[in-house]
Structure 1
């Protein structure tokens, strides 16, 4: 069946009796589950399940919960969920083009896509087309609650069917869409009916446009497109073309100016020297071309040399008006082309993956106010000038920052907080929230010792059926995490295990590992610091950057990556996001594994052994 479609608007769609939903950038999809089976169909009638089998697998795993409500039909958007307010269209396109069944299954496991449900068209065989949007939405919410599905969008959840919430306040939702770089908002009248195949004015789409200042390079006589460019190191960099958004008189004037000032002409194009500056709005840069470009206005106040690629890159990501980045072009590293704007954009895109590890933790940051060109300092106390949205928690007289949201993370980035260090417990936990082994070799050249230690620890974890995760430290070592349920274990409990592992490593290879605290007595051995895992101690958070010369990132790894071929220099800011897009997040199941971690039997065994020794 053909879906109902919204009408594009450039005016703020703020009206009484309307609701507002996040517009996710993905494939429109209708889910139909009957006794004949499950179908997921695109807007053009194409079956989607062969390319996205994870959706069917998730639904079948919850058959018993869905059974009382079948047959069912849902309207939604299939997305690669980058954060709660944004679907990554580029990644979804890559998934959609895969041909190899093996590769499809691999990506479905490592980087699953989500079906974002925003409308309920049938439940228990009863059609709801003739019901109002408000009633259909209420029924959809009830359905999720009865089945036991969460109502909040969460990219790290294993729940691949998620609910798109209807908001009554446009401005509050819009700020979050802009903050998280979402595609936009769909406004829906509360009484709108679902009309198959109709593009309705009862549904309006309002997009989060980006704006670029650019100049015209040529005019295509065959289709009327104006080609656009910016300067990149004194050469012209073509960024796309624009056709829509002009008033008839504006288009005629531009064509006439191009013809009067043409540099040369061939059968298809009229070429001009950079002179005419425009402002063009667009959704995003996709495969080096502007997506959905629209002319916005002429920029007679600019000269072409002011239309630069660096400015264009920073303009790609809007920020709310109350969250400004100062000195975005400030260089941060001596030997790397990383400016402050690049770092802020990194934090923004990595936020769904780092924020869960910062949530409700006493934060210590290392700030580099002059980048790597000057001195750094540790900061625990929240400064007096912090904005109101920065939460704090007082512990032993220190007002620690609690970084629970993207706004705070970007504000810290603007303060040039490069490293984020957190304790092993949340503020709500009386004991450790995880066990972490910090495998720090004596030098970069001894990194092979960290690999050896990690693999030996992994053997023990596998034998004990414990769930472990591994990441680089961002410097010269590796760190192994064992997630634990909250408020169950004490640091005395975990010390039994960390000391057991330390003793095991030394017994296996005393020439490689030591627990000797005096550096002069360690020689070239890796120090197994099991004492470091304790109350008040901290560890660098997953996906935090480090203030070293190669702009390292504390990068989560898959265990199969931990071998002699592993090279730390490849885990830097430039590659961290590309790894997630290509290979998924190795810590994707981290928080789900907390409740099923079988640590208690291991602890009881160690306690019995300790009692015998005593």
Structure 2
């Protein structure tokens, strides 16, 4: 039985010359071996994993012909329930690992397959690679994936069960993504490290994405040395976990002594004290409502126990920027929706990985609701004088626009009760439009079916032209169809040819349903096809932005197969947007990759020829 090489935990930034960095996934360490005798998948303790996770072998068998030339083969990896490209769901893999019934295992393998995240190649074509430096093993691993025509980017939504853990040269670049996506951490590896069986090495370092909780000690277990830590939930003491590690010997001794001097009662092995001693404890996540891998960080002599609340714990648990205070967290924002300000901030935190790419380097206009839906709203383009130093701006047309390029800026704007986020059709670096957007705006919510009809007609044309479109709700009463474009290649005059062509097509197809009439009173009950709105300086609501309407609507990306007469704009609100992401993933996940392959140029040439003939 082969035992894997293990990384050492570090609390210091592992930034070193000639090191590489990988995402640390949270699951079961697994060695996969494929020989002429078959496929074996083994845990770090030598336990067979294939019966529990049959989807791994099933996937490999579909590539049997391609793999033949590389056998015998051995991978080192982590078996995970992949939540996003930078995070595995520890709770889900634990539940899956405890299943016994073959039928249930088979159902889960089909419904929610786990992935083997491969980070090392230990043998190929029967040749051991253990004594080759890590960077050479990694190069061979990447090359193998490419030869097999497997994707090299991690993706929880594709059907590829075997996935590559790609190396980064820049620690900060990867760390920013791990924090944004709430991943477990990073493994730093020396380029020259050999693979040493069973060794816990300093050539591989694990650096974790800790969360922090301000808490107080409530009891001490004499049998195992654990300190029980708690917070106030309303007026009750709520135990959140037990901590043993992270103390210096003198800190642990002082804490034990203080507890013994202040006993209020004993119960078996437990010594209880009144809330008085406050600590900062770091941990990975909540698992079964307890802190997972808690470590003492430091004493909080500046805190009173009353300040260690469950509400504050939840704020810290979301890994919000530590130096950013959330003011009036319990302020109600909607009259008919139970949404407080902190709920909205949490929404922005959860949705940030999917929303920020559409805000990045775009001149931002927000609509702020300082009193929620109970008061007046106002547009904000200029960055206010009181904005903190970390807010980046860009000047255009005499206006100092905010650039919302990171989580900290997004949360700050949320704390300012910026509810709607509107962006132009190009970035500050673009020479022309970065996309085409059709804004399909029916006269009222009861006419939403017209937006559906228009969207499906547009989709028919896109399919015929081999163009790739994406669709989202507006968050109000309409739909919006996006065509991503390569940067700097087309002008607004170019895209106007296409938008006007599509508008004319819709009207020719169904003049009773669609119009380009700008005067509302002349439109009647027809949907206005606003092709003029797609122009320089105009804006569109960003994907996943909330809207300031009664329903707390969200501009929600959709899958095309969802777009039919049955959908209702009222169904796409703040609560459902997060549920959709967790259950169905992000329909816009391939949006930016599409820019490079969008065949818009040839279509434009045909339209230009037609225009010249008319002229």
* Range class of TM-score, shorter chain: 0.7 to 0.9
1:50 is aligned to 2:54: yes
| Change in 2 beyond 3 A, CA 1:133/1:306 | same
The aligned runs of 1:593-612 (5 Å cut-off) are 593-599=594-600
Residues 459-503 of structure 1 show CA distances to partners (whole Å, capped at 9, x for unaligned) of 444455543322111222221223334455444444344334434
Residues 553-609 of structure 1 show CA distances to partners (whole Å, capped at 9, x for unaligned) of 211112233334423333233332331121111122333334444556655665666
Q: Note if contact 2:22-2:165 (Cα within 8 Å) is conserved in structure 1.
A: no
The aligned runs of 1:85-234 (5 Å cut-off) are 85-90=86-91, 99=104, 104-105=109-110, 116-123=117-124, 125-133=126-134, 136=137, 161-165=163-167, 177-178=178-179, 181-188=182-189, 192-200=193-201, 202-214=203-215, 229-234=230-235
| Change in 2 beyond 3 A, CA 1:550/1:219 | farther
Rounded Cα–Cα distance in structure 1 between residues aligned with 2:395 and 2:149: 36
Rounded Cα–Cα distance in structure 1 between residues aligned with 2:85 and 2:181: 8
1:547 is aligned to 2:548: yes
Rounded Cα–Cα distance in structure 1 between residues aligned with 2:240 and 2:546: 30
Unaligned runs of 5+ in 2: none
Unaligned runs of 5+ in 1: none
Rounded Cα–Cα distance in structure 2 between residues aligned with 1:158 and 1:281: 35
The aligned runs of 1:257-272 (5 Å cut-off) are 260-261=264-265
Rounded Cα–Cα distance in structure 1 between residues aligned with 2:345 and 2:237: 26
Rounded Cα–Cα distance in structure 2 between residues aligned with 1:440 and 1:254: 67
Instruction: Please report the TM-score for the alignment, with normalisation by the length of structure 1.
Output: 0.78
Residues 44-92 of structure 1 show CA distances to partners (whole Å, capped at 9, x for unaligned) of 44138634689759x949x97x898765544333556666654443466
Rounded Cα–Cα distance in structure 2 between residues aligned with 1:482 and 1:173: 29
| Change in 2 beyond 3 A, CA 1:201/1:496 | closer
Equivalent position SS for 1:578: helix
Aligned residues: 601
Rounded Cα–Cα distance in structure 1 between residues aligned with 2:423 and 2:156: 22
Q: Note if contact 1:107-1:583 (Cα within 8 Å) is conserved in structure 2.
A: no
Rounded Cα–Cα distance in structure 1 between residues aligned with 2:109 and 2:256: 49
Equivalent position SS for 1:521: helix
| Change in 2 beyond 3 A, CA 1:376/1:49 | same
The answer for the alignment partner of 1:528 in structure 2 is 529
Rounded Cα–Cα distance in structure 2 between residues aligned with 1:589 and 1:422: 20
The aligned runs of 1:220-299 (5 Å cut-off) are 229-235=230-236, 237=238, 239-241=240-242, 260-261=264-265, 275=275, 279=279, 280-294=281-295
Per-residue deviation, 1:313: 0.4
Q: Point out the more displaced range, 372-381 or 439-448.
A: 372-381
Q: Note if contact 1:441-1:449 (Cα within 8 Å) is conserved in structure 2.
A: yes
Per-residue deviation, 1:416: 4.2
Q: Note if contact 1:73-1:121 (Cα within 8 Å) is conserved in structure 2.
A: yes
Equivalent position SS for 2:594: coil
Per-residue deviation, 1:283: 1.0
| Change in 2 beyond 3 A, CA 1:91/1:506 | farther
| Change in 2 beyond 3 A, CA 1:569/1:259 | farther
Equivalent position SS for 1:554: coil
Residues 88-127 of structure 1 show CA distances to partners (whole Å, capped at 9, x for unaligned) of 434666787794767755656xxxx765544342345432
Rounded Cα–Cα distance in structure 1 between residues aligned with 2:598 and 2:569: 29
The answer for the alignment partner of 1:324 in structure 2 is 324
Rounded Cα–Cα distance in structure 1 between residues aligned with 2:270 and 2:288: 25
| Change in 2 beyond 3 A, CA 1:560/1:174 | closer
Per-residue deviation, 1:316: 0.9
Residues 128-183 of structure 1 show CA distances to partners (whole Å, capped at 9, x for unaligned) of 223444665576677789999998878899997444436587x8876775565432
Per-residue deviation, 1:531: 2.0
Residues 400-458 of structure 1 show CA distances to partners (whole Å, capped at 9, x for unaligned) of 44444445444544554432222223455544333322122223343333334333434
The answer for the alignment partner of 1:77 in structure 2 is 78
| Change in 2 beyond 3 A, CA 1:3/1:299 | same
Q: Point out the more displaced range, 443-452 or 269-278.
A: 269-278
Per-residue deviation, 1:359: 3.7
Rounded Cα–Cα distance in structure 2 between residues aligned with 1:141 and 1:516: 55
Q: Note if contact 2:153-2:163 (Cα within 8 Å) is conserved in structure 1.
A: no
Rounded Cα–Cα distance in structure 2 between residues aligned with 1:181 and 1:608: 50
Q: Note if contact 1:366-1:376 (Cα within 8 Å) is conserved in structure 2.
A: yes
Rounded Cα–Cα distance in structure 2 between residues aligned with 1:422 and 1:53: 46
Q: Point out the more displaced range, 445-454 or 377-386.
A: 377-386
Rounded Cα–Cα distance in structure 2 between residues aligned with 1:537 and 1:37: 60
The answer for the alignment partner of 1:25 in structure 2 is 26
Per-residue deviation, 1:551: 3.0
Equivalent position SS for 1:130: coil
Q: Point out the more displaced range, 246-255 or 189-198.
A: 246-255
Rounded Cα–Cα distance in structure 2 between residues aligned with 1:260 and 1:319: 36
Q: Note if contact 2:56-2:116 (Cα within 8 Å) is conserved in structure 1.
A: no
Equivalent position SS for 1:592: helix
Rounded Cα–Cα distance in structure 1 between residues aligned with 2:589 and 2:57: 18
Equivalent position SS for 2:528: strand
1:483 is aligned to 2:484: yes
Q: Note if contact 1:51-1:95 (Cα within 8 Å) is conserved in structure 2.
A: no
| Change in 2 beyond 3 A, CA 1:225/1:51 | farther
Equivalent position SS for 2:54: coil
The answer for the alignment partner of 1:517 in structure 2 is 518
Equivalent position SS for 1:476: coil
Per-residue deviation, 1:312: 0.7
